[in-house]
């Protein structure tokens, strides 16, 4: 394991973080029907937003504003209850809803969201502003990206991850020279430009940026005046800065080293924008050696505290196949596995799996009850759902499609508080 040398030549108090968390997340189907994408549960006891917030807090950056818009009630509640930092030290994590401060319109894009809330920037007067998305799964020591931003005397730095060029067609791709200076930004093109020195790879933008404050505010002002703009950082702000000769650089995410992580884990980054990608990321967590490790005490994923009791497993009647057991799974606090079998699954708090039932390769949100003799396979079941005795989900996709959302990859999604007859 490689030890990481941590440096902070900048003052953390001069850095403001703005998290973009207002997206609708349509491709997550029923999971975002009444909650914002960053509020979707992940890994049993977390929310997606907890991942990026943990990265910043673990990096010592504690001035954080979260920009919300779409169905943000559960996200706002989670932030208020789980993420309270010390005001004595001028630390804060606060949500900012869309307020129509610059006109009679809601956020029209990622750049417009920051433009409409620029009063936060001017009030805090930071030297640098980090603008990051709130809905990806990865670990990153933000100090290392800030170090590189300062060392290069950059005016904007964009985080990117090397991906095979064939896969890069689905991303915004950064074209850079051998020194990492950005030449152009390409949005989902058929022939992505290669990464310098690696002809088979391309630099996919992660949608994470560090700006010098003055450059950011100037670019946002010009973008707001452009009626042809999509008001998006990747499509509009970064190309504008590059075109005008600003010092724009790319930061290779794979060079980032997180304390306590194995050497090979620095490549893990998942865009969980679809049901299949979301389900796959959950299955990644239960691997014998998961690339995204929840058990690194030097870089914890933080979230709300819970007063639920420990998980309980009861009954060992092997003769009648009534055994409470879970294998290759995450089982959260408050769960009772009462004579049922769990395999390769993720269970959130207070789930109950009753006798003779089988749950396999599935994700259960809070307060899900699985009845006796029920069989669940490759499913995501949202909170407060009671699956009746003898029910089968995931075994006949044609029948499942008549009632529920089924992804392209065959994952069945049962929405919150659904009634299963």
**Binding site feature residues for alpha-D-glucose 1-phosphate:** 172, 187-188, 205
Surface-to-core class of residue 396, CB atoms within 10 Å of its CB (0-12 exposed, 13-18 middle, 19+ buried): exposed
The alpha helices in 21-109, defined as continuous H runs, are: 49-58, 73-82
Give the alpha-carbon dihedral of 327, 331, 336, 342, to 10 degrees.
-30
Q: What share of the chain is helix, strand, coil (3-state, %, to 5)?
A: 25, 30, 45
Distance of CA 181 to the CA centre of its chain: 27
What is the residue-wise DSSP string for 160-179? EEEEETTGGGGSEEEEE-TT
User: What per-residue string of b and e applies to 37-64 under the rule 16 or more CB within 10 Å gives b?
Assistant: bbbbbbbbbbbbbbbbbbbbbbbebbbb
Q: How far apart are the first and last CA of the chain?
A: 52
What six digits make up the tokens of 278? 């979301």
Q: Do 241 and 156 touch, CB atoms closer than 8 A?
A: yes
In the annotated binding site, the residues are 172, 187-188, 205
Q: Do 217 and 235 touch, CB atoms closer than 8 A?
A: no
Around Cβ 197, how many Cβ atoms within 10 Å?
A: 7
The alpha helices in 106-171, defined as continuous H runs, are: 110-116, 118-124, 142-151
CA 290 – CA 268 distance, rounded (Å): 10
CA 194 – CA 411 distance, rounded (Å): 34
């Amino acid at each position: 394991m490689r030890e990481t040398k941590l440096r902070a030549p900048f003052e953390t108090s001069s850095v403001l973080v703005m998290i973009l968390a207002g997206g609708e997340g349509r491709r997550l189907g029923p999971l975002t029907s009444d909650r914002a994408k960053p509020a979707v549960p992940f890994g049993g006891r977390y929310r997606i937003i907890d991942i990026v917030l943990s990265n910043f807090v673990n990096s010592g950056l504690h001035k954080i504003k979260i920009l919300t818009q779409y169905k943000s009630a559960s996200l706002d509640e989670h932030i208020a209850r789980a993420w309270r930092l010390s005001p004595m030290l001028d630390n804060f994590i606060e949500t900012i809803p869309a307020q129509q401060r610059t006109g009679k319109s809601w956020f029209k894009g990622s750049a417009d969201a920051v433009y409409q809330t620029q009063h936060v920037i001017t009030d805090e007067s930071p030297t640098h502003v980090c603008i990051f998305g709130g809905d990806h799964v990865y670990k990153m020591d933000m100090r290392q990206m800030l170090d590189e931003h300062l060392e290069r005397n950059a005016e904007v730095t964009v985080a990117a991850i090397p991906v095979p060029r064939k896969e890069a067609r689905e991303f915004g791709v950064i074209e850079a020279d051998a020194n990492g200076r950005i030449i152009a930004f390409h949005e989902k093109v058929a022939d992505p430009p290669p990464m310098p020195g690696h002809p088979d790879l391309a630099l996919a933008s992660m949608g994470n940026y560090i700006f010098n404050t003055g450059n950011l505010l100037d670019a946002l002002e010009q973008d707001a005046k452009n009626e042809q703009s999509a008001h998006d950082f990747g499509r509009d702000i970064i190309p504008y800065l590059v075109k005008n000769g600003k010092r724009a650089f790319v930061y290779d995410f794979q060079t980032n080293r997180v304390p306590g992580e194995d050497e090979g884990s620095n490549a893990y980054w998942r865009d969980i924008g679809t049901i299949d990608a979301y389900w796959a990321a959950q299955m990644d967590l239960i691997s014998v050696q998961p690339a995204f490790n929840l058990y690194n005490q030097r870089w914890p994923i933080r979230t709300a505290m819970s007063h639920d009791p420990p998980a309980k497993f009861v009954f060992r009647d092997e003769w009648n196949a009534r055994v409470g057991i879970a294998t290759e799974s995450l089982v959260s606090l408050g769960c009772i596995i009462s004579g049922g079998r769990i395999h390769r699954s993720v269970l959130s708090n207070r789930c109950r799996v009753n006798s003779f039932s089988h749950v396999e390769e599935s994700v259960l949100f809070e307060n899900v009850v699985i009845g006796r003799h029920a069989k669940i396979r490759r499913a995501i079941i949202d909170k407060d759902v009671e699956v009746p005795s003898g029910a089968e989900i995931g075994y006949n996709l044609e029948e499942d499609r008549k009632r529920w959302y089924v992804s392209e990859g065959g994952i069945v999604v049962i929405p919150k508080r659904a009634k299963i007859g």
